[in-house]
Amino acid sequence: MNILINTIKCFLAVCGPYFFISQYVCSHARGSVPNIDHAIILKSKGYSTDTTEQIIEATRSKSYFIRHVALTLLTERTGKQSIPKLKEALNDPRMEVRWRAAHLLGTLGDRGGLERMRRDLKE
């Protein structure tokens, strides 16, 4: 597990200006969730988060970072109602978004993201 955490951390650190997301992902993998307000992140990027529909709109952003944060907020707000959107995100072009969707599905008791993660690890 530590090798996976370190691999993800290194990969995300190299991916660009979103280094803090690597700390976030790794802390999730270790089981400690930092206190991050995902709504504030989306609002700071110009997205409204008042309704579920507005959060779903953010999941269609061109920015993988925004899609990642929006999926997290959607799951926090709607719980198991977010499962169809999370399963759709398993086909996102960015691995970070696919893995976040798989992780969120797992927190909801749905193992549907495991196969996608296995495929990503083989590639």
The least confident of 24-38, 47-61, 77-91, 97-111 is 24-38
3-state class (DSSP) for residue 45: coil
For the whole model, what pTM was predicted? 0.71
Record the tokens describing residue 54, joined without a space. Answer: 């507005």
Place of tokens 């579920």: 52
Pairwise CA distance, residues 73 & 75, whole Å: 5
From the CB of residue 68, how many other CB atoms can be counted at a distance below 10 Å? 27
Give CA–CA dist 105/45, Å, rounded. 25
Are residues 110 and 56 part of one domain?
yes
Confidence of residue 17 (pLDDT cuts 50, 70, 90): very low
22 shares its domain with 42 = no
Contacts of residue 33, defined as CB under 8 A and 6 or more positions apart, other chains included, come to: 27
Query: Based on the domain organization, do 22 and 61 belong to the same domain?
Result: no
**Amino acid 119: pLDDT:** 86
Mean pLDDT for the stretch of residues 50-63: 96
Looking at the fold, whether 30 and 42 belong to one and the same domain comes out as: no
Looking at the 3D structure of the chain, how many domains does it have?
2
Q: Do both 88 and 41 map to the same domain?
A: yes
Examine the domain organization and report whether 31 and 44 are in the same domain. Answer: no
Q: Which range marks the domain in which residue 51 is found?
A: 36-122
pLDDT tens digits, 20-32: 454 455 445 444 4
pLDDT confidence of residue 19: 43
